[in-house]
Structure formats: C-alpha cells, structure tokens
C-alpha cells in the first residue's frame, strides 16, 4: 500500500512495540480512543473498521507476537452484514467468546521481527479495506422505559427500586443524569447513547442508504419498477419528474432516484427474489424424478437445480442497501 506523503512514517521495528494491556471487549465510543487502546501497527486498520461500522473487539500487534509470527484483529462476527461475513470467513472461522459477547472472528496478520510498524500497518489496512461499509447494528440507545424495565427485572424485589423509578420519571432527570456522565441524550427519540459519535452512526444507519454505487447501479433497473408502483399507489402521476427515467437514473438523476428509494421498495424486490428461490426449489422437488439436476426442463423453460446461491447473493446484496 502506498504511503500517504502527509502521514508521518513509522520505521519502528515490531520488537520495539510494547503490548498495551487493556481489557478485551472494551467498548469504543469515539474514534479518537482507538490510538489510545490499540497498538500502533493496527491503529489505522481499526480506524478503517470504525469508519465502515464494523465493531472491533480485541487486537494484538506487539513484540510478543513475534514468537507466533501472527498479529491479529478480532471483530464481532455476529454484527457483520451478510456480505462482510462472507469476506470474514476467508480469514478464519468464528468462535464463541467466553465473556458471552457472541461470536468473534480473528483476522490474522503475518509478522516478522525485523518488520516495521509501517509494513505491518499496510498489511492490516489491506485486510480492513477488503471489507465493505455496513450499518452499525451493534449500536443501541436506551430509553427511560427500557432502563426502568431493566431495573424491575434485576432489582424489582427491593422496595427502594420503586422509589428510584419514580425519581427517574421526574421531568429532566433522565436526561440530566446521563448528560452529566458524559453520555449523549437525543431529544427526538428520548434515547441515551454512550457518545454523540455513536448516536450519529446509529442515526446514519437508520436513515440513510449505504453509499454503494456499484450495487445501486446493479439493481436500479429492477428497483425502479417497485418505486413506480409505490408512487402510483400514493397518487403521484409525475414519477419521471420525481425520480427520473429508466435511462437517467444511471447518470444525471442517480442521486435523485436513490434519495427517493425507500426500504419498502428494496424489500419488495427482495420478496420477489425469495419467491423465485422458493419456486426453484419447488420445481426441483416436482421434477427431480423425471430429470437429473442440471437438465433442461422443457415444461419450465429452464434447467433443474437446487443451487439457490444466485438468489441468495442477490438477497444479500439488497440487504446491504437497506436503510
């Protein structure tokens, strides 16, 4: 990977990098924390994962890794998009974290004693860059009612719990206490987040379509049919002015079209794919005694197959475009 001339070069060798002993699974609430709790050879890679909304769990890239010849970054497998799960499985197999944090997967980085921080960093960045942007599904806010439900479930048998709940219900108390603790309170949703940065990531994932131009171009000609149908139901007769035409959505109306696409449109196309997948399997069961897999079936006008990966890949792609 080419070094950015504006970035300071780090020619320190790996055997000079001391381990940072931090508790595994430490929740990162701001990007700036990464350089404080992650060892220098994998800081940039972890920052890339942060920007792509992929949750890192633990990493190791220091002098102690020389003996095994492997540094690593562990990411939360359970919260990966389907597309990113496929990528992650190229590097290893998920395992159940003993601290009940779900399934993790380790991304190995080969290291040698004489390698520099820059050299290892470049290899780690290449791995991080192989992943795709996704929604930050691992981020959650908490409402006052959710906190009350938690209190009742855990401490409901104690008389003082009811008193505490009544105190929290007083106007402004829930917001004030969490703000004083450095958390972020969103007045619109009445939810508390560990930081404003996490809130912005959560909001972006809940409101915006992932910016993936290749996938958008790949499916725009199919999705536009569903957008047209929805707009017609809504009584909009000038759809071409609203979203553009089948030809213009590829170029000058690209942004206008995709800003108009709703989850409903994407999900309707996904449903069509799922129906086609189910029909393919149904046809296989119906004709498997008469034809062999891979045979052309005149009655269907297609080959007999139980391999649904073509439909599965399309469904996975569309999941990446959901708002």
pLDDT tens sequence across 154-211: 998 899 999 999 999 999 999 999 999 999 999 888 899 999 999 988 887 655 444 5
Place of tokens 């197959």: 305
Spatial CA neighbour of 20 closest among 79, 64, 52, 54: 64
Tell me the pTM.
0.62
Spatial CA neighbour of 91 closest among 128, 44, 138: 128
Give the span between the Cα atoms of 274 and 166, in whole angstroms. 48
Q: Domain coordinates of the chain in residue numbers?
A: 14-129, 142-207, 213-321
Rg of the chain on CA atoms, in Å: 25
Q: Are 179 and 170 in contact (CB under 8 A)?
A: no
Give the span between the Cα atoms of 29 and 317, in whole angstroms. 29
Q: What percent of the chain has pLDDT over 70?
A: 93
- At 48-99, the pLDDT tens digits run 999 999 999 999 999 999 999 999 999 999 999 888 999 999 999 999 887 6
Give the span between the Cα atoms of 74 and 128, in whole angstroms. 11
Segment holding 103, helix H or strand E: strand 103-110
Give the span between the Cα atoms of 5 and 280, in whole angstroms. 54
Residue 134 pLDDT greater than 90, yes or no: no
Which pairs count as long-range contacts for 185-192, CB under 8 Å and 24+ apart, including other chains? 186/141, 189/141, 189/143, 190/143, 190/144, 191/141, 191/142, 191/143, 192/141, 192/142, 192/143, 192/147
Structure tokens given for 296 = 């052309």
130-142 burial: b if 16+ Cβ within 10 Å, else e: ebbebbbbbbebb
Structure tokens given for 258 = 């995709």
Spatial CA neighbour of 190 closest among 168, 209, 210, 158: 168
* Maximum distance among all Cα pairs of the chain, rounded to whole angstroms: 74
């Amino acid at each position: 990977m080419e070094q950015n001339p504006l970035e300071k070069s780090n020619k320190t060798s790996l055997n000079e990098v001391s381990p940072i002993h931090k508790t595994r699974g430490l929740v990162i609430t701001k990007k700036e924390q990464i350089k404080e709790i992650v060892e220098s050879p994998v800081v940039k890679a972890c920052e890339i994962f942060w920007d792509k909304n992929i949750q890192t769990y633990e990493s190791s890239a220091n002098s102690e890794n020389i003996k095994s010849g492997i540094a690593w970054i562990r990411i939360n497998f359970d919260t990966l998009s389907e597309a990113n799960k496929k990528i992650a499985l190229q590097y290893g197999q998920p395992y159940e974290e003993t601290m009940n944090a779900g399934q993790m997967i380790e991304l190995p980085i080969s290291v040698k004693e004489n390698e520099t921080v820059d050299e290892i960093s470049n290899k780690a960045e290449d791995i991080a860059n192989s992943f795709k942007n996704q929604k930050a599904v691992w981020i959650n806010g908490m409402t006052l009612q959710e906190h009350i439900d938690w209190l009742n479930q855990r401490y409901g048998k104690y008389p003082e719990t009811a008193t505490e709940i009544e105190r929290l219900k007083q106007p402004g108390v829930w917001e004030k206490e969490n703000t004083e603790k450095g958390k972020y309170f969103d007045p619109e949703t009445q939810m508390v987040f560990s930081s404003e940065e996490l809130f912005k990531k959560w909001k972006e994932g809940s409101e915006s379509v992932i910016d993936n131009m290749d996938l958008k171009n790949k499916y725009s000609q199919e999705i536009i049919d569903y957008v047209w149908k929805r707009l017609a139901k809504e009584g909009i007769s000038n759809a071409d002015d609203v979203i553009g035409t089948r030809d213009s959505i590829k170029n000058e109306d690209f942004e206008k079209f995709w800003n108009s696409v709703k989850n409903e449109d994407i999900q309707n196309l996904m449903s069509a794919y799922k129906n086609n997948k189910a029909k393919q399997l149904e046809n296989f069961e119906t004709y498997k005694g008469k034809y062999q897999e891979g045979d052309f079936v005149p009655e269907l006008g297609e080959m007999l197959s139980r391999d649904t990966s073509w439909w599965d890949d399309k469904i996975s792609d569309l999941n990446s475009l959901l708002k």
